[in-house]
Structure 1
Amino acid sequence: MIPNDTPWAGLEVGKVDTRRVSASARWNWFWAVMPRADVALVLQLAELPKPTPDLPKLRNLEIRFQTLPGGPILYIRLKDNAQLELFETLCRDVMAAGELAETEAEALERAIGRTFRWHYLLRGGKLEVLSEEAQKGLIGEIEVLKLLIDRRGAKPALTAWTGPSGAPKDFELEADCIEVKARRGASQPFVKISNEHQLADVPDRRLWLAVLAVDKVQPPHGRTLTEHVSEVTELLERTEPSAIMEWDLHLADAGYDVLHDYSAWRWIVSAPHFHAVTEDFPRISAPVPLGVSSVSYSLALSACNPFRADWDDVLENLIEEVQP
């Protein structure tokens, strides 16, 4: 039974029935009821995109293209009506994103990208918020990611961001790797190296250590983790909405859930200091003696100072990478 206070109220159950969302909308959005009484949002298209883009595969949603007598559509169907209120919010958010588009192709891209952003909302996320240490680490990686987005563009930068997937290095580019360490500015001048692989050489790639101060402060100073994430999300929405899917999947891998409340923690962040990890750099790296593994140690920043490099130095190498 479809509640009367939803936009699907009054649509006939037992067959496909639709109602246009708004006559003033730029694109052809419809509220719909599918044959099994599942509610849906439909975007009617002039033609199917070529090639057909990948669509999210979510537990409680079905997202598909379909060709009907009246033309092709994209539909988003809710498979669990217990989440009807949340689904209505998703639909309105997807439409709001699509309505910002100047072309149908862009509207479709924005709609799909925004649906990926909601994948946690309708599948259930992590049970616990990230710890303070995990928040600091994620904020540090986001700061370096922003630098790479500015230089390389969103999609190449996100492809290079391997830290959330558990890779030994936080960023892996064509000829460079970057390991990121976030520390308290007022703490002892050391950074924690978690294992022997983090500063190990990578064949045919330069290795950089980026160190940032990430400090917890009291309101109204600083920003929450949610605000740091939102800054990048808004940047992608303006400049490269097709990259939002990959951004969301990286955040999910890092344990970030949009439903969690991070308002209790506010952070200020320094600019990253880069260090060239060369042959003489102080480190314990693989291979370690047989039978020894998971070697963690503290690295004194004073010992790293001779290897300091400006972002311009790192950038010069990145420029070389993209030159034909």
Structure 2
Amino acid sequence: MIPTDTPWSGLEAGKTDTRRVGAAARWNWFWAVMPRADVCLLLQLTDLPKPVPDLPKLKNLEIRFQTLPGGPILYIRLKDNAQMELFETLCRDVMAAGELAETEAEALERAIGRTFRWHYLLRGGKLEVLSEEAQKGLIGEIEVLKLLIANLGPKPALTAWTGPSGAPKDFELKADCIEVKARRGASQPFVKITNEHQLADVPDRRLWLAVLAVDKVQQPHGKTLTEHVAEVTDLLERTEPSTIMDWDLHLADVGYDCLHDYSAWRWIVSAPVFHTISEGFPRISAPVPLGVSTVSYSLALSACAPFRTDWADVQANLIEEVQP
């Protein structure tokens, strides 16, 4: 029995029955009830995307494309009607994300991206704001990401950003890897290396260490983490909107949610200082002795000075990656 205080009330069970969400909606959203009385959200499409994108897999939801006589749709179906209140919240959030789009293709990308974010949260993602240390680390990686976007383009840069997924290096390209460390500018001149794999050599790839100063400041100085994120979002929307979903998924993987309030923290960030990780660089790297693992240590930046280089050197190598 469908409760009367839901958007699905009044729809007939036993067949697929639909009701348009609202005349003011930019895109063709429908509340629907499937033959087994399962409630759904539908997005009617003009064409199926090519290639068909991956869709999140959730225990109590079915998310699929389907071609009907009236055309293709994306539908999100709730398998357990006991979760209808939460499902309505999810549906409205997905629609709100899609309604910001200027094209149907972008609306679909945004809807799928927002569903992936729910996928992340419902599988145990962080519901609280990021700690100060986590904010600093994310801001540092975003600064390097912006450099890569400017030189490689949004899609290759986001593909290279592997740190959020738990990879050993923050950025992994075809012939280069970059590890990013954010530190407080006024602190002792050290950076924390959290395991033996972060500065370990990768066969057939150059390895760079990028160090940035990220400092907390008072208003009106600096920017919040939300503002740092918004800058990249705006850049992607202007240059390559199809990458928004990848961007959202990376942010979800590090525990960032745009609904969290980061107004209590404002940050200024320096330009990254790059170092070449090569023979003689001070480090503890894999393989370590048998039985030893997760080796963390402080690395003195003074000892790294002989290996310091500039962005132009790194950039010259990265440009080779995209040349035919």
TM-score, length basis structure 1: 0.85
Secondary structure of the corresponding residue to residue 126 of structure 2: coil
Q: Residue by residue, what CA displacement relative to the aligned partner does 1:131-154 show, whole Å, maximum 9, x if unpaired?
A: 222221122112111211222122
With 275-284 and 109-118 compared, the bigger mean Cα shift is at 109-118
1:84 positional shift: 4.7
1:180 alignment partner AA? V
- Structure 2: distance between partners of 1:26 and 1:130: 34
- The code of the aligned residue for 2:168 comes to P
In angstroms, what is the RMSD of aligned CA positions?
Answer: 2.7
Structure 1 counterpart of 2:164: 164
**How far is the alpha carbon of 1:291 from its aligned partner?**
4.8
For residues 237 and 119 of structure 2, what CA distance do their matches in structure 1 show? 17
Distance 2:299 2:273 in 1: 15
Matched residue, 2:190: 190
Whether 2:251 is the aligned partner of 1:244: answer no
In 1: Cα distance, 2:216 partner to 2:322 partner: 37
With the length of structure 2 as denominator, give the TM-score of the two structures: 0.85
- Residues 7, 31 of structure 1: 8 Å contact kept: yes
Higher mean Cα deviation, 71-80 or 174-183? 71-80
Does 2:85 match 1:82?
A: yes
The 3 A distance-change label for structure 1 pair 231 and 69 is: same
The residue aligned with 1:139 is 139
Q: CA deviation at 1:15?
A: 3.0
On the 8 A contact 1:65/1:75 being kept in 2, the answer is yes
Residue segments in structure 2 that go unaligned for 5+ positions in a row: none
1:282 is matched with 282
CA distance 1:233–1:118, shift in 2 (3 Å): farther
Distance in 1, Cα, partners of 2:251 & 2:141 = 11
1:114 and 1:244 in contact (8 A); partners too: no
SS for the counterpart of 1:211 is strand
Q: Which amino acid aligns with 1:82?
A: E
C-alpha contact (below 8 Å) 1:120/1:257 kept by paired residues = no
| Corresponding residue number in structure 2 for 1:151 | 151
- Aligned residue pairs total 320
- Mapped partners of 1:259, 1:62: distance in 2: 25
Q: Which shows bigger deviation, 175-184 or 12-21? A: 12-21
Partner of 1:271: 271
Contact 1:237 1:244 in 2 (8 A): yes
Q: Which residue of 1 aligns with 2:125?
A: 125
Cα distance, 1:60 vs structure 2: 4.6
Structure 1: gaps of 5 or more residues: none
SS in 1 for 2:65: strand
When residues 95 and 168 of structure 1 are mapped into structure 2, their CA distance, relative to the original with a 3 A threshold, is: closer
Once the two structures are superposed, what CA deviation does each residue of 1:73-124 show, in whole Å capped at 9, x if it has no partner?
A: 22223442021551353243144134x11xx444433433343344446666
| Residues 1:93 and 2:133 are matched in the alignment | no
**Distance (Å, rounded) in 1 between the aligned partners of 2:116 and 2:100:** 12
Secondary structure, aligned partner of 2:67: strand
Instruction: Look up the SS of the partner of 1:312 in the other structure.
Output: helix
Q: CA deviation at 1:3?
A: 4.0
Matches within 5 A, 1:26-65: 27-65=27-65
